[in-house]
Structure 1
Amino acid sequence: MMPSPHPLEQELGMRYYASDAPGIGGRLRVSPADFVVEELPLPISDQNGPHLICLLTKTNWELQRAVKEIAKRLGISHRRIAWAGTKDKNAVTTQFISIYNVTPEAVEQVHLADISLEVVGRSQHPLSLGSLAGNRFDIVIRDCIEDGLPARVQAATEVASAGIPNYYGLQRFGVVRPVTHLVGERILKGDYEGAVAIYIGRAYPRESEEAQRARTHFTETHDARAALADLPIWMTYERAMANHLVANPGDYAGALRALPPKLLSLLVSAYQSYLFNCALSSRIDAGMSLTEPEIGDRLLFENSREDIVSARNRQAALMHVRRGRCRIALFIPGSGQVTSRGPMDEMMQELMIESGIDAGDFERASRFVETAFSGVLRPISLSADVETEVSGADVRLKFTLPPGHYATTVCREYMKADPYMMI
């Protein structure tokens, strides 16, 4: 395992690569067409019901913004639109959305630049996060290090097939401004003023100078009225929060609730993602393997069955992992009480104690956000059979991943570059 030299990755808990081999460098997303994502849907079990299922193809659109614009054209609340997965902005993405109580004819009248909608069916139920079979990726990494490039690509491909750390990628925390987990931590601690201060006021150097000035001024003054004057018009979420504070001084909880419900819930779950990354790196710190089970490890099988590794079943568990029937998994805590099963659970509990957050905080956040934050198992390793093509200084990668896994996690293993080269 090779430590990451990049401070941002270290801050987000992504402290290791799977191999010590040199990376290919390069840059992702020179154009949106270099990052193509196709959602693989689960079968629609019924073709009747009030939810219209549509195929959404978008280029260089953030999903929440696209949904709001579609809802505006339809004359409905954006809360009537649901989806199974959140896709990248700087990309060409194809995914399914459900729209409640609209007609196909109304959808056909929606015309937005770089967005297309195609009605494909109906359902009794809306789509929900995670209700997809996976995602297929077609990615081009530009301007790679040409010296020994085919050999470097081959080495990374072998590692990706064997298993790499299944980190939550940079986009989980905010691409230009990786603050979602920091805001989520404040919400979990009941510090709503602190959460608003970070969301509106935390500036990052890759933002525009106008945005940085507006954020810095808010940090210094907490003046919501001035923020409304300073914040660029395209910063709609920050402006919505500031507008609420102008009308309701001191109501920081209400300001947070001015955010779309799905975004608000993602802030809290981003902190869970941060805990996962940190605990996974702690396992690597301890010299533990990603693919060789230890006593007390949790196992997650393909059919969602769970098991615990014991002295009695350890050899059988090792065989199952090697044959791809299951993976070692880490339990990400939430509002429920957790019984420690082994060293990974102990590492996670230590992180929770250090952060001053417990199950009660997740329970309170669940009530505040109106979303359940129960614990969940996530595999600690990710493997992908990657089809590659080298053309001069460009490398093309084609692969498929299960839901909730990040293509950039695969790409970083090839590139070993500054994470900002992947946005």
Structure 2
Amino acid sequence: MMPSPYPLEQELGMRYYASGAPGIGGRLRSTPADFIVEELPLPISDPDGPFLICRLTKTNWELQRAVKEIAKQLGISHRRIAWAGTKDKNAVTTQYLSLYEVPPEAIEHVHLKDISLEVVGRSQHPLALGGLAGNRFDIVIRDCAAEGLAERVRAATEVASAGIPNYYGLQRFGVVRPVTHLVGESILRGDYEGAVVTYIGRAYPLESEEAQRARSRFAEDRDAKAALAALPVQMTYERAMANHLAGNPGDYAGALRVLPPKLLSLLVSAFQSYLFNCALSRRIEAGLSLAEPEVGDRLLFSNGREDIVSARNRQAALLQIRRGRCRIAIFVPGAEPVTPHGRTDEVMQDLMRERGIGAEDFERASRFVATKFAGALRPIALSTEVEAEVSGANVRLRFTLPPGHYATTVCREYMKADPYVMI
């Protein structure tokens, strides 16, 4: 394992690469067409259901904004639209939406640039996050380091097949402004003012000077009316929050609640993602393997079954891991108390104590957000068979990942580059 030299990755808990081999460098997403994502849906077979299932293809659209615009053209609330996965903005993405009580002929009236919507079926139930078979990726990394490029690609492909740290990628925390976990942490603490000030007021260097000035001013003076006048019009969520505060001074909880419920929920779960990244990096620092279990490790099987490694079953667990039937996983806590079983569980408990966050904070956040934040297991290793092709200074990668796994986590293992060239 080799440590990442990049402060942003270290800050987000993504502290290691699987191998010490040199990266290929390069840049992701020179154009949206360089990053193609195709969602692999679960079977849809209920012609009489109230939910219309549509295939959405979009280019360079943020999903929440696309859904709002689709809802506006259909004349319905955006809350009647659901999806199984949140896809990248700077990409060409194909995914599925469920729309409650929308007739198929209404879809013909949706006309938005770089968006197509196609009816594919009906369902008795709405789509839910994670309710997909996986995602297929076709990615081009441009302007790579020319020296020994083919050999470096070959080495990275072997590592990706064997297993790399299954970090949550940069986009989980915000691409231009990686603040979602910080906002979520403030919500968990019940510090709603801090959450709003971070969401509106935390400036980052990749933003326009206009945006940075508006954010910094709000962080200093909390003047919602001035922020409303200064924030760029495309910052719809920040402006909605500022608008609420302008009419309801001091109601920071209300300002958070103007955000779409799914986005509000994602802010809190982003802090859980941050905890996972940090716990995984601490496991690596302790010299523990991604593929060889120790007593107390948790196992997640491909059918969803869970188990704990004991002295008695350790060899059997190792065999199951090698056969691809299960993976070592980290349990990310939520609103229910957790009994630690091994060293990695203890690391997670230490992280929670260091941040001053407990089960009762997740319970309070569950009531505030109206979403249950239960604990969840996530595998510590990601492995995939990558079809890699070198053409001049460009590298094309094709691979498939399960739900909730990040293509950028695979790409960073190839590139070993500044995360800002991956957005």
Q: TM-score by structure 1 length?
A: 1.00
Paired with 2:74 and 2:189, the residues of 1 have a C-alpha distance of 38
Paired with 1:285 and 1:102, the residues of 2 have a C-alpha distance of 52
Task: Specify the SS of the correspondent of 2:107.
Answer: helix
Paired with 2:122 and 2:338, the residues of 1 have a C-alpha distance of 39
Q: What does residue 332 of structure 2 align with? A: 332
The one-letter code matched in structure 1 to 2:253 is A
Matches within 5 A, 1:103-252: 103-252=103-252
Instruction: Say yes or no: does 1:313 pair with 2:313.
Output: yes
Paired with 1:298 and 1:216, the residues of 2 have a C-alpha distance of 44
Offset of residue 18 of structure 1: 0.1
Verify the 8 A CA contact 2:45 2:122 in the aligned structure 1.
no
Q: What does residue 344 of structure 1 align with? A: 344
Offset of residue 49 of structure 1: 1.4
Task: Specify the SS of the correspondent of 1:106.
Answer: helix
Task: Specify the SS of the correspondent of 2:400.
Answer: strand
The one-letter code matched in structure 1 to 2:361 is D
Matches within 5 A, 1:257-268: 257-268=257-268
Paired with 2:85 and 2:207, the residues of 1 have a C-alpha distance of 26
Q: What does residue 17 of structure 1 align with? A: 17
Deviations 1:81-129 (A, max 9, x none): 0000000000000000001111111111100000000000111111000
Paired with 2:151 and 2:287, the residues of 1 have a C-alpha distance of 27
Q: What does residue 47 of structure 1 align with? A: 47
Q: What does residue 391 of structure 2 align with? A: 391
Offset of residue 37 of structure 1: 0.3
Deviations 1:179-207 (A, max 9, x none): 00000000000000000000000000000
Deviations 1:223-249 (A, max 9, x none): 000000000000000000000001111
Paired with 2:183 and 2:355, the residues of 1 have a C-alpha distance of 14
User: How many residues were matched structurally?
Assistant: 423
Task: Specify the SS of the correspondent of 1:390.
Answer: strand
Task: Specify the SS of the correspondent of 1:207.
Answer: coil
Verify the 8 A CA contact 2:408 2:422 in the aligned structure 1.
yes
Aligned-residue sequence identity (percent) comes to: 81
The one-letter code matched in structure 2 to 1:162 is A
Q: What does residue 5 of structure 1 align with? A: 5
Paired with 1:318 and 1:102, the residues of 2 have a C-alpha distance of 50
Task: Specify the SS of the correspondent of 2:299.
Answer: strand
Offset of residue 16 of structure 1: 0.1
**Higher mean displacement: 101-110 or 275-284:** 101-110
Runs (4+) off by over 6 Å: none
Task: Specify the SS of the correspondent of 1:299.
Answer: strand
Q: What does residue 421 of structure 2 align with? A: 421
The one-letter code matched in structure 2 to 1:121 is G
Q: What does residue 34 of structure 2 align with? A: 34
Paired with 2:294 and 2:109, the residues of 1 have a C-alpha distance of 57
Q: What does residue 101 of structure 1 align with? A: 101
Verify the 8 A CA contact 2:337 2:359 in the aligned structure 1.
yes
Deviations 1:23-77 (A, max 9, x none): 0000000000000000000001412211100000000000000000000000110
Paired with 1:307 and 1:104, the residues of 2 have a C-alpha distance of 45
The one-letter code matched in structure 2 to 1:292 is E
Offset of residue 255 of structure 1: 0.1
Paired with 2:172 and 2:7, the residues of 1 have a C-alpha distance of 17
Paired with 1:364 and 1:45, the residues of 2 have a C-alpha distance of 38
Paired with 1:216 and 1:232, the residues of 2 have a C-alpha distance of 13
Paired with 2:284 and 2:385, the residues of 1 have a C-alpha distance of 23
Offset of residue 209 of structure 1: 0.5
Deviations 1:275-303 (A, max 9, x none): 00000000001000000001000000000
Unaligned runs of 5+ in 2: none
The one-letter code matched in structure 1 to 2:339 is T
Deviations 1:150-177 (A, max 9, x none): 0000000000000000000000000000
Q: What does residue 284 of structure 1 align with? A: 284
Task: Specify the SS of the correspondent of 2:372.
Answer: coil
Q: What does residue 323 of structure 2 align with? A: 323
